[in-house]
Each structure stands twice: as C-alpha cells, then as structure tokens.
Amino acid sequence: MANETIMIIEDEADIRELLRYNLTREGYTVTEYASAEEAQDALKKRLPDLILLDLMLPGTDGFAFCRSLRGTERTAKVPVIMVTARDEDADIVAGLEVGADDYITKPFSARILAARVRAVLRRRAVEPEDASDTLRRGPFEIDRTRHAVTVGGKPAVLTLSEFKALELFVRRPEIVFSRYQIVDVVHGEDYAVTDRSVDVLIVGLRKKLGKHSDLIETVRGVGYRMRLG
Ligand code: CA
C-alpha cells in the first residue's frame, strides 16, 4: 500500500475533489490547497513526496510557482506533475522547461493519473542508485566512467551526443524531455540548435538501439521520453 503524501494545488474545487478521490483510492495521503500561496505556507512545515500543480491559479500561477520550487534548495527535488486544462503544446513545453517532471491534461482519466504519479514516484525512489558509475535499467547498461553502453548485453558505439541523450533518458524513464532540455544536456546551454537537429540525433540513437529503438517514444509537439515499463 502506498503511503506517500501528495500535495494538490488546484483552485477548482470539483477538480481538486476528483484528484483527491482518485489518489486516496490508490492509497496516497493527500493534502490540498486552492492557491500557490497557501501551499507555500504548508511547504515550510512539511515536504510532500510529490506535487500536483494546476497551471492556471489565482495569484502566483503554476509556472511561477514551479520555477520558485526549483530555485529553492529545500524544494528543488520535490517531483512536480503539472495539471493543465489547456492541451496546448506550448503550455506543456513551458511547464517542462520550468522544471515540471511530467504533465496531465484535464480532463484526465483516473488510470493515466495513477500511472503518471506512480512513474514519477518510482523514479524518485530509484534515484540514489544513480550515484554509482554504472546505470542499469531495462536493456541498458551505461558506464559513465568509461562512456560505454551495452544494449541487451551487446556493446553499442554511440557518439558523445547520443551517449548524453541516452543517459538522460535512462536515468529518468517515463519523463518527457522537450527538445530544448535535450539540447541543454547534450551541448550545454548556449549552443544554437534547431528542433530538427535534435530529431536527427534521436533518429541516429534509435538506429543504434536496434530492436529496442521503440523504447524512445516521440511525444508529438513536446519531445521524447524513454518507456521502460
Ligand atoms: Ca485553475
């Protein structure tokens, strides 16, 4: 039985109630707030295991709140799933760029909500393992010291860019990365790059993953994610 605490920040009472109902049923402890300001006060006392953050809030909106969470040492690592009524690519990309881990669009299905929450919490649970030099997950084994990769036990020869992109995906499975985030990791922040060059990088990387190539999923209009079941 899950016993993690999930903080819901949502100004619409009926949606808040729906979120609470579904998450409580999954065994989570839920705290709820109608504004970022109320949530901010509660965060001073206790950190939740995950925050579900509505984007359009009165007062401080979800973008600004997420940015401030990430910019504060104490809250920088609390996972955030943003909840947006607007199924618009631009909002989703902007949310991911201020540091959200994933997103759910309203209206959401109970199953998708539960799956996204579970995936984000699971990733958080495995994070300490990431401190070691070798990352093993799914068919991948990534040796960060030697910059060597095996896929399904077979060595894969990757370029440095492909290596960095694969490491990003495998380290954080299920999380959607925008093209800008991928570029940041691969080339550093000031590198001028086009969406197209990221797509070309992914095409090359997929080729080298052979029969595992479809583990890198294209999220239309947003970016890419690694599916590791
Ligand atoms: Ca709202």
pTM: 0.61
Q: How far is the CA of 97 from the centre of ligand 1 (A)?
A: 20
The tens-digit pLDDT sequence of the chain (229 residues) is: 458 999 999 999 999 999 999 999 999 999 999 999 999 999 999 999 999 999 999 999 999 999 999 888 889 889 999 998 766 777 877 888 888 988 898 888 899 899 999 988 887 765 554 556 888 899 999 998 888 999 999 999 999 889 989 998 998 888 888 888 888 778 765 556 677 888 999 999 999 999 999 999 999 888 999 998 6
CB under 5 Å of ion ligand 1: residues: 11, 54, 56
Distances in whole angstroms, Cα of residue 176 to Cα of each of 36, 57, 213: 24, 23, 16
d(CA 24, ligand 1 centre) in Å: 21
Distance 46 CA to ligand 1 centre (A): 24
Question: Residue 92 C-alpha to ligand 1 middle, in angstroms?
Answer: 15
> Per residue, what are the HEC states of 19-40?
HHHHHHHCCCEEEEECCHHHHH
Please tell me the distance between residue 130's alpha carbon and the centre of ligand 1 in angstroms. Answer: 35
